[in-house]
Amino acid sequence: MPKLGLQAGTINNSYLKVVSNPLITWNFQKGTTTNSSGSATTSFVPTSNASIITGTIMTANNSSLGNSTDPNFTWNRTYSPDYATFSEVNVAGRYISFQTTVATGKTVVVTQFTGLFAEKNSSGPLQLALYLSPDNSNFTQIGSNVTPTTSVRVETGPIFSSNFSKSPLVLTAGTWYWRIYAWNNANPASTSARLGFHNNNLNDDDFSIIGYSI
């Protein structure tokens, strides 16, 4: 089973001097000028150096399709009914998921996330969190909760990885399971509460894991 390193000192401090580069990048797939329908087939698709790490498309579990214009230029989901707490949304099994697989004989040291720009509509979730597991069963939160806003993109990647400069995330060889949870809608009664992740100004880097392999 792969092992998760989240504590300072899990790697030699000298490794922190190694130059970090994008190891895997997810790119918005809806096109260059149109909005997303919110379906899984228009999600974020990864590219990477397969000799180090590979990944899967982002998909949504137990949530409704999104909307083509709300929020604009996003892969979005409809988060109704509302779940007021993380415990409730976790039990309901509503999350966005993806996987990464570190190649045999490799260890990946993650120093930063970039991108993953989130935006909600006026009724959408007020809490967003990233979780990671080595076995798709026991999940650990990565970083702190993020509060999405309306009409303004919040770059969640650097927030989730804000502690990595002191305590990098270490991923050993094997498959890792990621989940993004959203809950606590601004309007709990709404049937059209939505949150989406942006096409980053039409660039090819919408979400990246930055680091190096050892």
**Does residue 17 form part of some domain?**
no
What pLDDT, on a 0 to 100 scale, did the predictor assign at position 70?
Answer: 82
Question: For the stretch 51-87, what's the b/e string if a residue is b when 16 or more beta carbons lie within 10 angstroms of its beta carbon?
Answer: ebbbbbbbebeebeebbeebbbbbbbbbbbebbeebe
**Does residue 65 form part of some domain?**
yes
Domain of 58 in residue numbering reads as 4-10+22-213
* Digit-coded pLDDT (tens) for 37-78: 555 455 678 889 899 999 998 888 887 777 777 887 788 888
The pairing of strands 59-61 and 95-115 is antiparallel
* Digit-coded pLDDT (tens) for 143-195: 999 999 998 889 999 999 999 989 999 999 999 999 999 999 999 999 999 99
In order of 46, 58, 140, the CA distances from 143 in angstroms are 22, 20, 10
What domain count does the chain have? 1
**Does residue 159 form part of some domain?**
yes
CATH number at residue 154: 2.60.120
**Encoded amino acid at 44, one letter:** F
Q: Higher model confidence: residue 109 or residue 61?
A: 109
| Token pair in block for residue 33 | 């000028």
**Does residue 97 form part of some domain?**
yes
What is the average pLDDT across 120-141? 97
3-state SS, residue 87: helix
What pLDDT, on a 0 to 100 scale, did the predictor assign at position 45?
Answer: 81
Model pTM score: 0.88
* pLDDT above 70 coverage of the chain, percent: 81
Spatial separation of the C-alpha atoms in residues 3 and 177, rounded to whole Å:
12
| Token pair in block for residue 117 | 């720009």
Spatial separation of the C-alpha atoms in residues 90 and 152, rounded to whole Å:
26
**Does residue 16 form part of some domain?**
no
What pLDDT, on a 0 to 100 scale, did the predictor assign at position 204?
Answer: 52
**Does residue 143 form part of some domain?**
yes
13 backbone dihedrals φ, ψ, rounded to 5°: -60, -25
Per-residue DSSP letter, 20: P
Residue 34 has pLDDT above 70, yes or no: no
Cβ–Cβ < 8 Å for 207, 156: no
Round the average pLDDT of the chain to a whole number and report it: 85
What pLDDT, on a 0 to 100 scale, did the predictor assign at position 9?
Answer: 34
**Does residue 15 form part of some domain?**
no
**Does residue 191 form part of some domain?**
yes
